[in-house]
């Protein structure tokens, strides 16, 4: 089962986003970087909506100054509107938007981000495991209902 993460970042944080993406993929987490002009076949808003809608989580990289950029704010707003899990990845010394202040977030140090990458991957891997459990239970419930329905149909004949 897949667990898909949309990584929202400014151009200023593209190196951090790429390193984080590579770390997540080692855990089997599918990640999609924030769109760039070359990758988009649809208008930005439609592309972002489609990507976030099919994601399990939005990972918002909030470097100093980058979190105030329009695309990051738009992508955060879209994730909240679609009721997605939002995990802020906040640079040490950065301000976090008020509406995210009560959420769990991970602080990173740009000079030594490796430990934060690992923590993020472990946290998202835990979310992935929880999703797999929920999906498995749901599948078992559907199987059980199917068996009961087949039994009821067989006994009515």
What digits encode the pLDDT tens for the residues 108-133? 888 888 888 888 888 888 888 888 88
Token pair for 59: 């990972």
Rounded to two decimals, what is the model's pTM? 0.77
Count of the separate structural domains present in the chain: 1
Residues whose CB is less than 8 angstroms from the CB of residue 60 and which lie 6 or more positions away in sequence, other chains included: 8, 9, 67, 72, 75, 76, 79, 86, 87, 88, 89, 100
Beta bridge partners of 5: 31, 57
Q: Can you tell me the mean pLDDT for 2-11?
A: 88
CB 94 within 8 A of CB 116: no
Distance separating alpha carbons of residues 147 and 88, to the nearest angstrom? 43
Please tell me the predicted confidence (pLDDT) of residue 136: 81
Please tell me the predicted confidence (pLDDT) of residue 107: 86
Please tell me the predicted confidence (pLDDT) of residue 7: 92
Q: Can you tell me the mean pLDDT for 65-77?
A: 76
Please tell me the predicted confidence (pLDDT) of residue 59: 92
Q: Can you tell me the mean pLDDT for 8-29?
A: 87
CATH number for the domain harbouring residue 39: 3.40.50.360
Q: Which pLDDT band, with edges at 50, 70 and 90, does 13 fall under?
A: confident
Structural domain containing residue 135: 4-156
């Amino acid at each position: 089962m897949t667990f898909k993460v949309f990584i929202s970042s400014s151009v200023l944080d593209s190196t951090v986003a790429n390193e984080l993406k590579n770390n997540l993929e080692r855990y089997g987490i599918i990640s999609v970087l924030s769109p760039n002009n070359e990758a988009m076949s649809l208008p930005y808003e439609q592309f972002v909506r489609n990507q976030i809608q099919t994601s399990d989580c939005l990972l918002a990289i909030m470097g100093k100054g980058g979190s105030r950029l329009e695309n990051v704010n738009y992508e955060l707003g879209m994730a909240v509107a679609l009721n997605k899990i939002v995990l802020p990845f906040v640079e040490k010394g950065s301000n976090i938007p008020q509406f995210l202040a009560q959420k769990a977030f991970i602080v990173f140090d740009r000079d030594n981000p490796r430990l934060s990458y690992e923590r993020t991957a472990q946290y998202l891997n835990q979310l992935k495991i929880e999703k797999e459990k929920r999906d498995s239970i749901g599948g078992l419930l559907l199987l059980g209902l199917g068996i009961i329905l087949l039994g009821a149909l067989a006994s009515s004949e």
